[in-house]
Amino acid sequence: MADKELTCKECGKTFLFTEREQEFYKEKQFQNEPHRCPECRYARKQALRLQRGQREMHTIICDNCGKEATVPFKPSGDKPVYCQECYQATKQ
């Protein structure tokens, strides 16, 4: 294997896909070469982290203690929904 020069589909800049990176991709059994340069990959990961941090929260009444709480999912009504404290207690 030798280093490859690739073009970023995001910014159009060329970047080096090193022999070491290629070995890592092969070890992880990744099928495709990277399409973005390291800077654009980092920016994309940061944007995704921000999106996850801004999840829509839903207000619920805990089925165990009756306390009002918020959860990061919309309850379907077919399973009990707990506040964080009661949920942690059910896990133990």
Domains in the chain: boundaries: 4-53, 58-91
**DSSP H helical ranges for the chain:** 19-27, 38-53, 84-91
Q: Do the beta carbons of residue 5 and residue 15 sit within 8 Å? A: yes
Tens-digit pLDDT profile for residues 2-29: 999 999 999 999 999 999 999 999 999 9
Query: Residue 91: its pLDDT value, please?
Result: 82
Query: Residue 68: its pLDDT value, please?
Result: 95
Confidence grade of residue 53 (pLDDT, cut at 50, 70, 90): confident
Q: Do the beta carbons of residue 5 and residue 16 sit within 8 Å? A: yes
Give the mean model confidence (pLDDT) for residues 52-67. 89
Distance CA 27, CA 34 (A): 15
Mean pLDDT over each residue of the chain, to the nearest integer: 92
Query: Residue 90: its pLDDT value, please?
Result: 86
